[in-house]
Structure 1
Amino acid sequence: MARKTGSHSEITGPRIRAAAERLFARHGYAAVSMRQIAAEVGVQAGALYLYTPDKQSLLADMMRSHLEDLLEALAALPALPDPVARLAQFARFHVGYHITRPDAVFVAYMELRNLEPAHFATVEALRRRYEDALEAILQAGKSAGLFSLPDPKLATLALIAMLTGVTNWYREGGRLSRSDVEAIYADMALKSVGAAV
């Protein structure tokens, strides 16, 4: 099937992913068809298969890419020796990164149940790497006597849930600026582990 005029891979591929992400976030993966994604992009349904083998691969690629980009951005942060400063940095980073990507975050967290086992294993391994980075900070703070928490793993999961939740309500131009929200969440993260702030 011929591509529509102007349907070049470097343009259409990202447009397909962006359209699928919007539709999956709005309606849920199971309710969205490849035909709907094609209509959103403005291409014929058959053209989608030039860019992805199927809807499942599109979902998995989207989720994997989101987590790989997240891990890369986290690795680029300046190294801080103090666990208190590292936790505040992590909290600010997590909120700031996720707040600008609400659809990607929704899909990455809510559509795990729709991944086939092989894709799930890949995505879950990336999620664990991110969680491990936070757990290492919490464990270092606990070992140094700076944090008071009975279970660093449980605290990791609770903090990530709290920090990610900002994407459910934050809207640009609201009462609090992005930097205000980052600062408040960093302070809440520190207080939740008993850090002196």
Structure 2
Amino acid sequence: MARTQGSHSDITGPRVRDAALRLIAQHGYAAVSMRKIAAEVGVQAGALYNYTPDKQSLLFEIMQAHMQDLLTARASLPDAADAVRALEQFTRFHIRFHSRRPAEVFIAYMELRNLTPENFARIEEMRRTYEGQLEAILRRGVEEGVFRVAEPKVATMAVIAMLTGVNTWFREEGRLSLDAVEEIYWDMVRRSVTA
């Protein structure tokens, strides 16, 4: 089959991923067909296979790219002088990074169940790396005597769930700015772990 006129792999490939991202975030993985993605991009359904092997690969690519961007952005931050500053940095980073990517965040949490076991294991490993960074901060704070956390792993999951929840309700046009939300959440996180 001939490539659709005006279709180029360096342009159409990213458009396929962007369309899949939008459609899966809006309708859910199970409700989105390759045909719907093709229609969104403006190519024949069969042409999608020039850019991706299947829908599962698209889902995995979306999640992997999100996690890789997250880990890369986090790695670029300077080392914090102490556990309190490290926790504040993590809190603000998490809110700011995720607030710019609501579709990716929704897919990363809601569509894990649709990954194959192999793909799930790869994404889960990346998630554990990120979660481990927060757990290390909490353990450091306990060692420094500034945090009181009986179960750092449980506290890690609770803090991440709380921070990620901002995406479900925050709106740029709302009453509070993102800076104000960061301040409120930093205060709540700090109080929840402070000795």
Query: After the TM superposition, which parts of structure 1 deviate over 3 Å for at least 4 consecutive aligned residues?
Result: none
Paired AA for residue 33 in structure 1: S
CA distance in 2, matches of 1:5, 1:169: 42
How much does 1:174 deviate?
Answer: 1.3
How much does 1:35 deviate?
Answer: 0.3
Q: Deviations over 1:138-193 (max 9, x none)?
A: 00001111001110000000000000011111111211112211222122111111
Instruction: Name the counterpart of 1:138.
Output: 138
Contact 1:89-1:186 at 8 Å conserved across structures: no
Instruction: Name the counterpart of 2:192.
Output: 192
Question: Structure 1, unaligned stretches of length 5 or more?
Answer: none
Task: Provide the TM-score with structure 2 as the length reference.
Answer: 0.97
CA distance in 2, matches of 1:26, 1:90: 29
Provide the aligned length of Structure 1 versus Structure 2. Answer: 195
Q: Does 1:97 align with 2:100?
A: no
Contact 1:88-1:187 at 8 Å conserved across structures: no
Contact 1:134-1:156 at 8 Å conserved across structures: yes
How much does 1:81 deviate?
Answer: 1.9
Bigger Cα displacement from structure 2, 66-75 vs 22-31: 22-31
How many percent of aligned residue pairs carry the same amino acid?
Answer: 63
Q: Deviations over 1:42-93 (max 9, x none)?
A: 1111111111100001101110110011000000011112100110110000
Instruction: Name the counterpart of 1:66.
Output: 66
Paired AA for residue 119 in structure 1: N
Q: Give the RMSD, CA atoms, in angstroms.
A: 1.0
Instruction: Name the counterpart of 1:78.
Output: 78
Contact 1:131-1:157 at 8 Å conserved across structures: yes
Q: Deviations over 1:69-119 (max 9, x none)?
A: 100000001111210011011000000000010000000111000000110
Q: Which has the higher contact order (CA 8 A, sep 6+)?
A: 1
Question: Structure 2, unaligned stretches of length 5 or more?
Answer: none
Task: Provide the TM-score with structure 1 as the length reference.
Answer: 0.96
Paired AA for residue 114 in structure 1: N
Instruction: Name the counterpart of 2:16.
Output: 16
